[in-house]
Each structure stands twice: as structure tokens, then as C-alpha cells.
Structure 1
Amino acid sequence: MEVKLFYRTQRDLAIALNQLIDSYFEEEIPERKLIENIVTIHENNKHKLVKNHQFTTVIQQHCGKRRLAVVERVLEMK
């Protein structure tokens, strides 16, 4: 799965995160690739992903609790 560095909107970012995490859950990509991609997305799109130390509302609505729990755990690791 190919992940872009920069996303135009929060919705585009949420869709990319969903595809990435779903690919991991379906065992299409390894854990290492998941972690690398989430860290890269976060570093290049911080303002679209997190505001006031919380995921933005659009991200929360489109990704859901289970996927965001994965993102949060990865970001805590780095």
C-alpha cells in the first residue's frame, strides 16, 4: 500500500488511515510498515490529525475508536 506524505483535507487523511489500518488487520501489510506509515503521516499532517492533544472531530467520526486506538498506541511508542 502506498501512502502519501501530505493530505489535502482531514477527510482524505481519515480515508488513508482507514485503508492503512484495515490492510494491517487483514494481514496485507506487516506491523513494521503500519508503524512507519502512521508515524510519517503524523509528522507531515499534525495539524489535520491532532488539535489540543486530541484527534480532530473529522478524524474521530471517520476512523472510529478501534482504528484510533491503534494510531494512538503507535504514536505513544515513538
Structure 2
Amino acid sequence: MFYRTQREMAAAINQLVDAYWQDEIKEQGLIQGVKNIYKNNQDKLIKNNQFTKVVQQQCGKRRLAIIERVLEIE
């Protein structure tokens, strides 16, 4: 899962979290998906220990709270 832009990656994160909220995927599927996205796109997701502005705007606070817990970022 490599993404060309931050917007593409944010859309994928949104789909992943929304699928979890709608019980389409299990918690383990969410965790694995988030970790794969992070592993392959660290520079597009986080800069200076914060989510990038584009990701913040596209995903919103509730989704990013879940992503943050999965990645164990403080």
C-alpha cells in the first residue's frame, strides 16, 4: 500500500476506519491495515510528531484518534 499523495492516503484511512465502524472488518484487520499504511507512507502521515495538515483536514479528529491509538503515538 504505497500512496502517491497525502489525499489518496487519507481517503484509504477513511475507508478503513469507516469499514471498521460499520463492522465490515474486525479490529485486527483495522490494526493491520493502519500499520501497513504507516510503514509504507510514514513521511506522508506524520511530520514533526504530528499528523500532516492534509491528513488532519481529510480524516478528522475521531478517525485520527483511532489511528493514534493503533500506532501508539503520544
TM-score by length of 2: 0.97
CA RMSD of aligned residues (A): 1.0
Counterpart for residue 62 of structure 1: 58
CA distances 1:12-39 after superposition (whole Å, capped 9, x unpaired): 0000000000000000000000000100
Q: Which amino acid aligns with 1:53?
A: N
Kindly tell me the number of residue pairs found equivalent between the two proteins: 73
1:41 is the counterpart of 2:29: no
CA distances 1:24-59 after superposition (whole Å, capped 9, x unpaired): 000000000000010010010000000000000000
Counterparts of 2:16 and 2:32, CA distance in 1: 11
Report the 3-state secondary structure (helix = DSSP H, G, I; strand = E; otherwise coil) of the residue aligned with 1:43: helix
Report the 3-state secondary structure (helix = DSSP H, G, I; strand = E; otherwise coil) of the residue aligned with 2:72: helix
Counterpart for residue 24 of structure 1: 20
- How far the C-alpha of 1:69 sits from its partner, in A, is 0.1
Any runs of at least 4 consecutive aligned residues in structure 1 with deviations exceeding 2 A, and if so which?
Answer: none
The sequence identity of aligned pairs, in percent, is 59
TM-score by length of 1: 0.92
| Structure 2 segments unaligned to the other structure (5+ residues) | none
| Structure 1 segments unaligned to the other structure (5+ residues) | none
